[in-house]
A and B are shown apart, each in its own frame.
Chain A
Amino acid sequence: MPDIFYVLLRRMRTPLIVLIVMYSVAVLGFTLIPGQDAEGQPWHMSFFHALYIVSYTASTIGFGEIPYAFTEAQRLWMMFVIHLTVVGWLYSIGSLLAVLQDPAFRRLRTEYVFQRSVKRLRTPFYLVCGYGDTGGILVKALADEGIKAVVVDRDENRLNELELNDCIRRPLGLLADAAKPAVLEMAGITNNYCIGVIALTDSDQTNVMVALSAHLLNPNLRVLARVESAEAGANIRSFGKNEVINPFETFAGRLAMAIHSPGMYTLFTWMTGVPHEPLREPLFPDRGLWVICGFGRFGKALHRHLEAAGIPMQVIDPDPVANQAPTGAIIGSGVEAITLQQAGVKQAVGVIAGTNDDVSNLSILMTARELRPDLFMVARQNQRDNSLVFDRADIDLLMKRGDVIAHKIFALLRTPLISDFLDAARERDDDWANQMVSRILGVVSEEVPYLWEIKINKVRTPALYKACLMGQVQLRDLLRDPRERVKSLPVIPLLLKRDGQVMVLPELDKPLEVSDRLLMCAAWPISDEMRWATQNENVLHYLLTGQETSGGDVWGRLLQNR
């Protein structure tokens, strides 16, 4: 029996005993007090009658004096019983309501309901610890993809938001501290359907603890953890097959990529986009001096990435010595025109407002715009709530930390082939990326490209599996339009993975083999058309041969006999 019933029973002990005693005293009284029957003979009420009378008296129904009119002694007792029973019931019901309303009991009850619904889950789910900006975007994206999430967070307001959002597969939420292993167990970390744990709380300590618990409680789980310090990152990487995401590194890496190879940046943003996100225009920042305002953890990471790409920089920081800024850094915050001028904003091509304060970032950009309206503006947005003003500020490149991390995690979760593709892309140059971007622009419209994986196996692509076993299937055949095979679908086959070998942009006449994995890129509705062909033998037959067949066995035999 779960805790909740024990607590309820324990708390209801006294009221229940009061009820029993009250009833027994009332019943006993009626059996002992002598009455008179219709002939005036002395008469004793039996337990049966006494219980009957007490029952209707206690429930305040009130039937009158039966079977014979009461004597005065009986009426005296009746009066006593009426008051006794009413008080007894009021007390018992009051105690029951008090127990049900008790905050501790209610918490226990919500935990019980949560635990039960986690146990009842029969679909694979991710356990997300920490429902901040990043968690919010991630859970929403997972829900849109049809993947369930179980959320643990300490902040009641955040969880209320979770309750209120209208996802089709509503995530489950628990108000608790994810650093406690018992909480993780309650949230289903040992459940067979749990496919991964994502630790996104704002404390490194908690994230390490979550990764550790996951490793010890269910070693097969995939763990993705967000950490802000290098030590915690190394700590988590040291056990299991965990993935670590450092928001500052990721964020700075992306920003540096946007500056030194914008084509690659556009490609990466589109590939890791959350489905149905609007497509953002490619960027074209100039090469030249960049001004970085703020040299905290983010500024440092950014400096390192830009330095590696050989881009000249000028740093502005209120305390360059304490923050170990490079020599020649300007003292100031960048919100005053004078510091920006000192930093050489006149010769610069762009300015990056990268402090951890949104107000400063906005005001740096406004000041810079006064000085040089044609400057390329990059801003770091820390708080999601400030989106309204940041969107209005007309900034060339807006970096929302939550978005960047959520998109990276989402790409890692959805299909591992995306990471393979991005790794391979990183080795190419920006021109290649630009070509990819224009090819992708050819197949999609307003939304980011939809990426999906085709795995040639018996379960997920039965038709294609059979065809590959029986004869040669070229990649080209798969790209034909199932409605008219001479046309081809607007799809780009991005990657073919065979026995651990990765082929980027495979040739169209490549023969497919069983257990190949393909990464496709197209607009979202096209993916369904292609899945249709991989699963339906008749459609695939038409694509391969141009002949239309009807699927039934009987019809097939009739045709053979003829």
Chain B
Amino acid sequence: MTDHLLQPSATHSRRALLRTLGVAGLAAGGSGLLLPRRARASKTLTVGWVYVGPKNDFGFNQAHHEAVLALKSTPGLKVLEEENVPETEAVEQTMESMINFDGADLLFLTSFGYFDHMVKVAPKYPKVQFRHQGLLWKPEDPANTGSYFGYISEGLYGCGIAAALASKTGKLGFIAAKPIPAVLRSVNSFTMGARSVNPNITVQLIITGGWSVPAKEAEATNSLADNGVDGIACHIDDLKVVLQTADQRGIHSCGLNVDQRALAPKGYLTGSLYNWKTPYGEMIQDVMNGPSLPHLLRGGFAEGFVRMGPYGPAASDQVRSAVDTAAAELAAGKRFVFTGPLKDNKGKVLLTAGQHFAVGDPSLLAMDYLVEGVNGSLT
């Protein structure tokens, strides 16, 4: 525990000192002058990760951190991590400090709001590669920048199957942070999965309005349980409170981002998990051995960027085999999450029989509707 407390603060104070003393001098003297690129000389690759929250948050940030832990022992690789970096100028200072003082060659910026700051800093360091987690990169952005993304919503299709098969009431619930395309894809994928095994199932949507608002999330879980919902999934940053409350109320729950079985030992079914190890491993190999690092790297089940989580004890054999089959078919391209006939929940036709949206279809990336079966509204 002492280590936990001391290490980050030591790094912080060192960084803070270097920021005040060094950055001005560097701006004048150029990056190579103060600190020679020892990293390059000894042929190790230094890679930095920047997180917006704590790296052990049981959620989004931890998913990245777990990949870093898994890759850490790669020969010739040195890893840097900084957590709780706000989406402000602070991230520019973090980037500059990782490049100038730690000799970073490749930076991964894991939060949405880092993008503009990356585009601002990248032209100053043409030899450093910058990659941003998201879907924002455009060809006109600096040549040493790019985006990577995992289609986490695909796994929610599997969660929907699990929750629907386990449901007795036919009512499921979804707790969503904000009505943006990435979240709506999750809500709709969950509903598509549920309705693929039981067309009569309904999904009650609650939007909390924030990425992490524990009091509202707990209240939402209780309200859903009060209304007969017996299975919950969510797209929020930190699922601890929802999963614990769901277990207290004796209803099923699904996880997101990382394995969260321990939080809901009674009712946890499965989860949609990131497998960042795969894309990070690929990108690091690309930089180490060539040929070149792509600007865009996106994937879901097929690419191994996303996977279904381990099953909780509440998942029956029937649930396990149905979810396994669906995940395998999605990965093989034999099944698609959004398949016709499909209407939105206001009756507008989205797909006719036989049609489907391919993974990464532009209309999925701009999703602004709720599919049939979701009780909820976006206005």
A, B assembled together: no
